[in-house]
């Protein structure tokens, strides 16, 4: 039987660490969370300025698992939930410089100019494409083989840029989109599996999808969790983590903490070093292979009368084939009310990522010029931005590259060798906020409850 856990330190108040702490507290475990910055949330950061409310990190949370919905409810956030406006169900993809809606019905799938007749027929042939036994394939290899090149170029390439800020040629299918891999393995077809597997997904805890944020923006989630924690140390950069005879201690810029039975490192992989994690040179070298591409986010406000396009959707994504300088944009004030003054639009634009890393680090003025030119071409602008802000993420989102098993095996080896240590965060089992929430809840259950996954 494993040892009962009474005291835990969590290094980093990202969403995974916060959720784990919250759930461990429910099991009466004493938890200290130590965070380097002055506020909790990590990548989740909302800024309010006059009548503008902008997101530096995630804009939305896709609610599709009962576990996550129940967690939000238990936090007391149901009344604060903000569901995306119905227009958000419409999403655009740029083709030949024009914003074309993604098909949402059989009729629009037949008539959409996004794909040629040959491309559409190729998709219909998907159920007849034989299953591939090579499980270590990239997203691009998988999609081109099953759905054809047009689907890769005008659906999956922009979609991957929108989620991972990366390229389908770089990401491993099994790690980045495990559900697609499961559908092929289990049903031999994505199309057939999507229909045949819907009952099974419901049984697995799936609920009807709802795209949400919160009244005070995404950061209301980590702030609410943090308020419910008994022990949180902000402005505490952890500099060393040590273990002696099964007892752990943690040293931050402001003092020594411990002893603990267990330490959870919720720091991004690129922040790991041999002081805070007992790793060998070789393990560290392997872990540092995880690439977090640089990304710039521009938050721009325009008078509604200065924008030709109605912005009647979630936003648009730009396929690489279109040779543009932006990855895409969200129509943030269409998505949720009260994100901009009534007569203004708020648009969130993404630049760089794994596709164009060299663009992400340009200075704000250069980026503004480049983005305004692109927006002008695509949605028609006539005036100057009334609001502007720029966030640079030098290392944005971990890319689960081909061969990512090597990373996960290395993490597992470290944890097996150093009992009482866990590495947790978006570099493992999903990068989305809901995935991080699920991972945090499951980790607490494994450590202090009697559940194993
Ligand atoms: C621009 C952007 C847009 C995104 N959009 C979406 C979206 O729309 N929807 C969605 O679901 N997901 C989105 N994501 C992904 C999602 O936001 C992240 O994957 C998730 O929030 C990461 O959580 P995490 O638990 O890994 O911790 P992180 O957010 O990585 O937090 C780690 C924490 O550790 C702290 N830390 C680091 N070193 C130390 C140290 N030595 N001592 C103490 N503390 C330390 C850091 O300060 C930080 O607070 C987006 C991400 C980005 C960057």
The answer to whether 59 and 219 have CB atoms below 8 angstroms apart is no
Which whole number is the average pLDDT over 94-101?
97
Closest residue by Cα to residue 310 from 271, 345, 278: 345
CATH class of the domain whose range is 104-205 = mainly alpha
Which whole number is the average pLDDT over 236-253?
95
Closest residue by Cα to residue 91 from 211, 218, 217, 214: 211
Domain ranges of the chain: 7-44+218-290+402-448, 104-205
pLDDT tens-digit readout, 413-439: 999 999 999 999 999 999 999 999 999
Structure tokens given for 138: 């990239």
Question: Is 36's C-beta closer than 6 angstroms to any atom of ligand 1?
Answer: yes
Q: Which of 9, 10, 11, 12 to mutate to test the pocket of ligand 1 (most atoms within 8 A of CB)?
A: 12
**Fold (CATH) for 7-44+218-290+402-448:** FAD/NAD(P)-binding domain (3.50.50)
Question: Is 240's C-beta closer than 6 angstroms to any atom of ligand 1?
Answer: no
Give the DSSP H/E element, type plus range, for residue 65. Answer: strand 61-65
pLDDT tens-digit readout, 309-368: 999 999 999 999 999 999 999 999 999 999 999 999 999 999 999 999 999 999 999 999
The answer to whether 129 and 145 have CB atoms below 8 angstroms apart is yes
Q: Please state the pTM of the whole predicted model.
A: 0.96
Atom of ligand 1 nearest to the CA of 397: 53
Question: Is 16's C-beta closer than 6 angstroms to any atom of ligand 1?
Answer: yes
- Where on the phi/psi map is residue 408: left (φ > 0), alpha (ψ -120 to 50), or beta? alpha
Structure tokens given for 287: 């872990």
Task: Return d(Cα 18, Cα 12) in angstroms, integer.
Answer: 8
The answer to whether 235 and 38 have CB atoms below 8 angstroms apart is yes
Q: What single string gives the DSSP state of each residue in 133-178?
A: -----BHHHHHHHHH-HHHIIIIIHHHHHHHHSS-TTTBBHHHH-H
The CA dihedral of 427, 175, 81, 195, to the nearest 10 degrees, is -170
């Amino acid at each position: 039987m494993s040892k009962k856990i009474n005291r835990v330190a969590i290094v980093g108040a990202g969403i995974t660490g916060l959720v784990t702490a919250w759930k461990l507290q429910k099991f009466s475990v004493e938890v200290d969370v130590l965070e380097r910055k002055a506020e909790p949330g990590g990548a989740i950061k909302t800024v309010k300025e006059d009548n503008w409310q902008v997101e530096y990190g995630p804009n939305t949370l896709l609610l599709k698992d009962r576990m996550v919905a129940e967690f939000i409810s238990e936090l007391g956030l149901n009344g604060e939930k903000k569901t995306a406006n119905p227009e958000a169900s419409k999403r655009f993809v740029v083709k030949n410089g024009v914003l074309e809606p993604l098909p949402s019905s059989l009729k629009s799938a037949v008539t959409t100019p996004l794909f040629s007749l040959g491309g559409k027929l190729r998709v219909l042939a998907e159920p007849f494409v034989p299953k591939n036994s090579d499980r270590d394939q990239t997203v691009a290899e998988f999609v081109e083989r099953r759905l054809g090149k047009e689907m890769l170029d005008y659906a999956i390439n922009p979609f991957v840029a929108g989620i991972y800020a990366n390229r389908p040629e770089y990401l491993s299918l099994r790690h980045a989109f495990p559900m697609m891999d499961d559908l092929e393995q289990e049903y031999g077809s994505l199309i057939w599996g999507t229909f045949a597997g819907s009952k099974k997904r419901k049984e697995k805890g799936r609920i009807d999808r709802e795209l949400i944020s919160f009244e005070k923006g995404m950061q209301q989630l980590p702030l609410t969790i943090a308020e419910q924690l008994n022990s949180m140390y902000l402005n505490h950069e952890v500099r060393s983590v040590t273990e002696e005879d099964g007892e752990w201690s943690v040293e931050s810029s402001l003092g020594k903490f411990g002893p603990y039975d267990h330490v959870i490192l919720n720091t991004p992989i690129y922040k790991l070093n041999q002081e805070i994690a007992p790793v060998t040179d070789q393990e560290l070298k392997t872990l540092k292979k995880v690439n977090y591409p640089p990304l710039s986010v521009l938050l721009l406000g325009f008078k509604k009368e200065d924008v030709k396009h109605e912005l009647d959707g979630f936003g648009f994504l730009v396929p690489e084939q279109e040779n543009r300088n932006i990855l895409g944009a969200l129509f943030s004030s269409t998505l949720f009310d009260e994100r901009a003054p009534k007569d203004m639009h708020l648009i969130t634009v993404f630049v760089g990522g794994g596709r164009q890393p060299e663009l992400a680090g340009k200075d704000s003025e250069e980026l503004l010029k480049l983005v305004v030119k692109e927006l002008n071409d695509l949605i028609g602008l006539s005036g100057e931005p009334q609001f502007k802000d720029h966030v640079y993420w030098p290392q944005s989102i971990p890319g689960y590259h081909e061969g990512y098993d090597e990373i996960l095996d290395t993490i597992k080896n470290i944890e097996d060798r150093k009992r009482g240590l866990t590495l947790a965060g978006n570099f493992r089992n999903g990068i989305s906020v809901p995935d991080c929430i699920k991972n945090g809840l499951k980790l607490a259950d494994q450590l202090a409850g009697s559940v194993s996954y």
